[in-house]
Structure 1
Amino acid sequence: MQERLLDLNEQLRRVNGTTRREVFDAEEAALLQPLPDHPFESVEYKQLKVGRNYHVTSDYQHYSVPYELAGKILSVRITATTVSIFDGQAKICEHPRKLGRRGQYSSELSHAPKHHQQVQGLWSREWFLNRARNYGPATVQVITQILDRSKIEAQAFLACRNILSELGGKKSSLEEACQEMLNINGYPNYTSLKRVMATLAAAKAQPAAAAPAAQNVKNLKDVQNLSGVFVRDAAHYKGFGGSHAE
């Protein structure tokens, strides 16, 4: 095959007396550009709104942007390896693309405000703790644990929002589930709390244990021992076969 290719390109002469190789060297070789440093990658563009935790979410993964852009719609360029975020034509930042487990965060410390509570329109630690206090002390403690275990607090904001808004329909149920989670020293998150709430609800729905039936055998000893009273017991009637003579 290789020999045939060489023959077609370099040995076989066309009507004008040139070979393919000679035409390439004379007309095309000088126009070639060097190959790119990186192989070709497919690209996807999305328009995404920045959340109140100053992250955009793509394919269930979260990428931070400067907090001043919260609420704004940005253009996001996604390849197999990178996520590039643009405000108009200006590139704001770029993150390695997160793959695998859902809900991962790629966050830059420089994107976070110094004092969340002083930034209008953003979620903050105090914002969530204030809402947790409406449910009870156990809920406050669970939300605090979730906020404290994140490298950057903003990484926990979405989980806190989901717990308080989606599981908090019944205040007493969420508070009870949080207390149970604290009692067993569990790892609180949306999924584990939802599971505990379902378990507690199922336990409440079980019917109460049936009370034992009342005793239907009469105790005749006290009556038989009374002076002047004679009461026949069951053995007296065994010989009658179900019929009684007068």
Structure 2
Amino acid sequence: MRHVREILRLSLEAGLSTRMAGERAGVGPTTVRDMLKRFARSGLNWPVPAEMSDADLEACLYGLPGMKPGRRKQPEPDWSAVARELKRKHVTLQVLWEEYVAAHPDGYRYSRWCDLFRRWEGRLPLTMRQSHAGGEKMFVDYAGDTVPVVVDRRTGEVRDAHLFVAVLGGSSLSFACATWTEQFADWIEAHNGAFAFFGGVAHLLVPDNAKVAVIKACHFDPMVNRSYTDMARHYGTAVLPARPRKPRDKAKVEACVGIVERWVLGRLRNRIFYSLAEVNAAVAECITDLNDTRVLRQFSKTRRQLFEEIDAPNLKPLPAERWVHAEWKRCRVGLDYHIAIEHHHYSVPWRFARREVEARITTRTVEIFLDGERIAAHMRGSGNGRHTTIPEHMPSSHRRYREWTPVKIREEAARIGPMLSLLVEKIIEDRPHPEQGYRSCLGIIGLAKRFGAERLEAAARRALEIQARNYPSVKSILEKGLDKVPAREASDHTPIFHTNIRGSGYYN
């Protein structure tokens, strides 16, 4: 409103000069002179009729939309296009007005142009004022702009770091940190940092519908990422995503992102960083300055002071341990009752072979679930193609076979008798690789169940005498009963005694 009635009263009724009337009304003398000229052209007389409102009087002089007197002749801009352009980065009303005047030199002047846009904007749907209770919500998002980081001093290679922003609804206390990516692992780690910074947990987390947080966006029932839900459950909070394409649902963090970009990125624009740690140290300094020194005009307090009064008493306490990021993977158990995770194999109970299971993978552990119940847990192994097997997961037959270690094989052979112990040692020594003799030794020791330990010991003596160091030979000796016959009688070649045969003494 231009205070038309007051300016006309001061000029036409009080008789003040244009300069003095402008000073009283808070406008310039040029504006007063222009208003008097418009009043003279309008055909109205002073005093104007009492029933004429200030808005009608202004319309008569300046020709507002919908009023017949003083009908404007300037080209009307497309205000919806102006509103869309304003949403773009670095675009202001000044820039758009200059483009308008360049196309329409006889168009509205800047002040009138802005006034008409504000009037058009006032007819748009209303925005609901949201109020947030202390400790109720924590809004999270990533900033649109990134921080360049030099990762190689020799080549000058630059990598962009992404800025994570979190803000509490009650006090607007803000947190920011830099991460290499916006992937889930960095997303969770940034949340851990935010919880530690605030010293507590809000009752609700409000992200947008990014894939890192929401698997399937829905206006009524969004599907939240399972690991994100597990993290929220660990901290005793819940996830409430904003509605799709409704950024005003998280207006708090949208505004905070703009503040952080100006307050942090604007100050750090001329600095060069060589690591993510350097970026986060600089960001922490700027955030501390924002929270502790900048006074909010509407409250006459800093964000930190408001936090201590509003949010801090209502936050949930932090758990004893911070959340460890975990990934979920569907796997099918093989015939060897193992699943493969990044080129390493982990066992599950043998009865679950061929079943489809879910693996929860962290940096240190691998947990395996079937229908929501954990059936196995292992320490994380390196991707070397090896197996991590718990003996209790094996069938009894496999377990017995696996329990036959070299030490146990020797102990069992020694328990039966010295001849068998010697035979086992000879079998292992004769093989190119010791493990090649283990199975033969197991077979020979197993013959004790069928023929008895005493006969097996005798058969081992016979096998040593005839140099028969394998399982088939020992088994043949036992089956043919040669273990019961003295070695001299069992031989097919009896010694020959004759006067023409020189004995061993001849060579002494």
What TM-score results when the alignment is normalised by the length of structure 1?
A: 0.42
Report the structure, 1 or 2, having the larger helix content.
Answer: 2
Q: Which has the larger radius of gyration?
A: 2
What TM-score results when the alignment is normalised by the length of structure 2?
A: 0.22
